[in-house]
Structure 1
Amino acid sequence: MRISPLADDLARLFAQAGHRLYLVGGSVRDALLGRLSSDLDFTTDALPEQVLGIVSRWADAVWETGIEFGTVGITKRGATLEITTFRADTYDRVSRNPEVRFGDSIEGDLLRRDFTVNAMAIELSTKQFVDPHNGLAALADRVLDTPATPQESFADDPLRMLRAARFVSQLGFSPAPRVVEAMREMAGEIDRITAERVQTELSKLLTGAHPRRGLELMVDTGLAERVLPEMPGMRLAIDEHHQHKDVYQHSLTVLEQAIALEKRDDPDAEPDLVLRLAALLHDIGKPATRRFEPGGGVSFHHHEVVGAKIVRKRLRALRYSKQIVDDVSQLVFLHLRFHGYGKGEWTDSAVRRYVTDAGPLLSRLHKLVRADCTTRNKRKAAALQRTYDELEERITRIAAEEDLARVRPDLDGNEIMKLLNLPPGPLVGQAWRYLKELRLDRGPLSHEEAVAELRRWAEENGIG
């Protein structure tokens, strides 16, 4: 197994000081999977003050923000390393905050870790492999299990249930039956965890390689009811095409298709959290807008409007950033707009509005709309994709002619104030918005046309 030269250097320093140093946790797991990163985790029998004495001259930088939990962080030649004294914590099982106690053995330290695949260590001076909980076998079998019983593990830290779903997504592992059973029994314990920590795990799950698997585990165990209740709620609604078991399954399919489009456009790009959230939640408004029509049909009128509001509320509750909340809710709001395009009936004005309303989200909106085409009728699916191809071609043509990325009125605020003899204020904004709407409807105007339209608008509104 390849281990960083930095680890060897550090091991020598600890051995010279009479201490043992172990590579531990996810660092060992990833090394065994052949993907060791430059961010490494270590554990040691040295106390935090002793660790500081050993690394202070060797490291490029040292920080002590986690020292009360026994962790010293360092950087060396661009790598980030964390060294934690053996832990033997106890938990009050009311919060997830441990009563920090330092341990005296690597075996005791590994017992308190979340999953057996993260409970392996390598003693770096001798390269001895330490695996008291058969983590290597679990890694080979791609199974997620806990060192202690899952009930003990999740009672100590309920966030581990979400971490289980996250690892299912990131690693493609299957949870052991006893882990799934404990998650079902204890799903309500997740309420002890702050929204910020839940959001972090959910984001990591969504940007993993297999997010559908992680989300299905959350729904099947009841975790989603506590974290993202609108997701299992979508199982109540049959979609309008009657082509899917329910809106929930349809949404998971759209998520997978959006990910495929991500990779198609740029195989090396980082996972797009905003697109993935929008794909998962684009039909979140359907249960609230479902109507059974005469003749056996089902409608979901304005579900994109209702959905955008629900998305905004839920993502705020999960403490997502304002930018993510705004972007995801706008994509959900716009995802049905294309279906009014028909066979190309939109005017150039409608195309301009589509582009302007999407703004910097346009490329994501393209992917979302294409991913949302999940009909099993191959001819219909191909026709929808061709129609969207035509829309994109029109957008490209109009953009080349008019610079759609920066649609602005043909007169700026200073010109408006000068022409109408207005001071800065709300009237200038009204005039500016009027000219922008005109620009969207008719395309670029000459300066003379814009001035004439402004004066006509001012006269009609008794201004100037």
Structure 2
Amino acid sequence: MSLAALNEAPSGPQLLTPVLAAGCQGVVPTASQVAQIGRRAAQIRECPPTELYDLLTASLCGRHPDLALQALHDLGLLAELLPELDATVDFSQEAGRRHKDVWAHTKIVVWQSVPSPTVRWAAALHDIGKVPTRRFLPGGRVTFHGHAELGERMFERGPLRRIAFPPAVGQRVAELIRWHLRPGQYDGSWTDAAVRRFAREVGPALDDLLNLSRADITSKRPGKRKRCLRQISELAQRIRALAAEDRKPKPLPAGLGANLMAALELPPGPHIGVLRRRLEQLCEAGELEGGREPDYYIEQIQTRELLADVEIEAAPKRRRR
């Protein structure tokens, strides 16, 4: 965008042209553009919300989303469009440690994230809840308790109302902001039930959430970075494995053990488990049908003489009182 164009027709959408150039082409706004647009930054509010979404999304999904964010800030447009994000500029996560600046961290996360609208928007806004939740503790520690949940509410009350997000995109961005810490809390001690609960809770947002979590790893320590990435990959692998297991049809009907004991006059004991495992193996090998009635499996045990080499343990006698 030329200065002449700005002088002749300073409309809202035109003010975002340098941001689009930064995000897609890596062209940083000139000092003249910064000064000229900065004086007219408030006019960006005249831009239709649908155009705001389209232009900002195109900028964030380009090859240089970090430059797009910086251009928004330098041009004074970030404070007008996303004041929640503008508040993170020069906002430190740790007392006296500038390299822990939330704004710098956010730009790295956006740059590292996959170029999808939901993930890029969530990457840009995932830490906006840190500003109102920061608390300093004795010893120099800093906490941000509840910043993910508050960040989701801030997104819904602010950016979601100013910018015309498609409903599905807006909902997914809100979910990603709320859940962005969850994958990083995973460790190998999670039970299969816990992994299933996590996958069930996040539902269709799972892939986007894992992609956001990978991008959110910005540690400069190679060992920590590898460890965090490995944990997320392990979580993803366990979710896939459990999902595949759950999709498998259960070959044997529930309560088959009781049916076997009644029909074959067997006492309870380990031999019932042996019979079940043999039936399961035959089902997996395709020699028996899965999901049939108990009588089918009882007949197969008798026909195939599956009891022939099974050691039957007598039921223990009850002590008289």
Please indicate, yes or no, whether the TM-score normalized by the shorter chain is above 0.5: yes
The offset of 1:159, in angstroms, is 2.1
Q: Which amino acid aligns with 2:34?
A: V
Shift of 1:331: 0.9
* Distance (Å, rounded) in 2 between the aligned partners of 1:366 and 1:212: 20
Partner of 2:113: 258
Residue correspondence of structure 1 range 95-174 to structure 2 within 5 A: 115=1, 145-146=2-3, 148=4, 150-154=6-10, 157-174=11-28
Q: Alpha carbons of 1:243 and 1:370: their partners in 2 closer, same or farther (altered >3 Å)? A: farther
* Aligned CA distance change for structure 1 residues 400 and 222 (closer, same or farther; 3 Å): same
Alignment-derived partner of residue 334 in structure 1: 179
Q: 1:178-202 deviations in whole A, cap 9, x for unaligned? A: 2121011211122222322222211
Identity %: 34
Select 2:120's aligned residue among 265, 276, 283.
276
In the alignment, which residue of structure 2 is the partner of 1:228? 82
State the match for 2:136 in structure 1: 292
Paired residue for 1:212, among 24, 41, 66?
Answer: 66
Cα distance, 1:149 vs structure 2: 6.0
In structure 2, which of residues 184, 190, 194 is the aligned counterpart of residue 346 of structure 1? 190
- In 1, the alpha carbon distance for the partners of 2:61 and 2:185 equals 31
5+ residue gaps in structure 1?
1-114, 116-144, 260-270, 405-445, 447-464
Q: How far does residue 322 in structure 1 lie from its aligned partner after superposition?
A: 1.6
Contact persistence 1:240–1:300 (CA under 8 A)? no
What do you get for the CA RMSD once the two structures are aligned?
2.2
Once the two structures are overlaid, the 10-residue window that deviates more, 317-326 or 170-179, is: 170-179
More helix by share: 2
Tell me how far apart the structure 2 counterparts of residues 149 and 320 of structure 1 sit (CA, whole Å).
28
Shift, 1:394, TM fit: 1.4
Q: Which residue of 2 aligns with 1:176?
A: 30
Alpha-carbon distance in structure 2 between the residues aligned to 1:374 and 1:336: 14
Amino acid at match of 1:323: A
- Name 1:320's counterpart in structure 2: 165
For residue 173 of structure 1, report the CA deviation from its aligned partner: 2.2
TM-score, with length taken from structure 1:
0.50
- Contact kept, 8 Å, 2:129 with 2:150, in 1: the verdict is yes
The DSSP-based 3-state class of the residue aligned with 1:295 is: helix
Matched, 1:383 2:224: no
As a proportion of its length, which structure holds more strand? 1
Question: Following the alignment from structure 1 to structure 2, what is the Cα–Cα distance between the partners of residues 276 and 403?
Answer: 32
The whole-number CA distance in structure 1 between the counterparts of 2:64 and 2:151 is 25
Is the aligned partner of 1:200 residue 2:45? no
- Within the candidate set 180, 191, 216, 1:372 is matched to 216
| 1:190 is the counterpart of 2:44 | yes
Q: 1:243 to 1:181 in 2, by over 3 A?
A: closer
Q: How far does the alpha carbon of each residue in 1:25-80 deviate from its partner, in whole angstroms, 9 at most, with x for none? A: xxxxxxxxxxxxxxxxxxxxxxxxxxxxxxxxxxxxxxxxxxxxxxxxxxxxxxxx
Q: Deviations over 1:383-404 (max 9, x none)?
A: 1112222212211221111149
| Count of paired positions | 247
| 1:306 matches 2:161 | no
Looking at structure 1, the residues matched to 93 and 226 of structure 2 have their Cα atoms a distance apart, in angstroms, of: 20
Change (3 A) 1:208 1:289: same
Amino acid across the alignment from 2:170: V
C-alpha spacing 1:180/1:236, structure 2 compared with 1 (3 Å): closer
Q: Which has the higher contact order (CA 8 A, sep 6+)?
A: 2
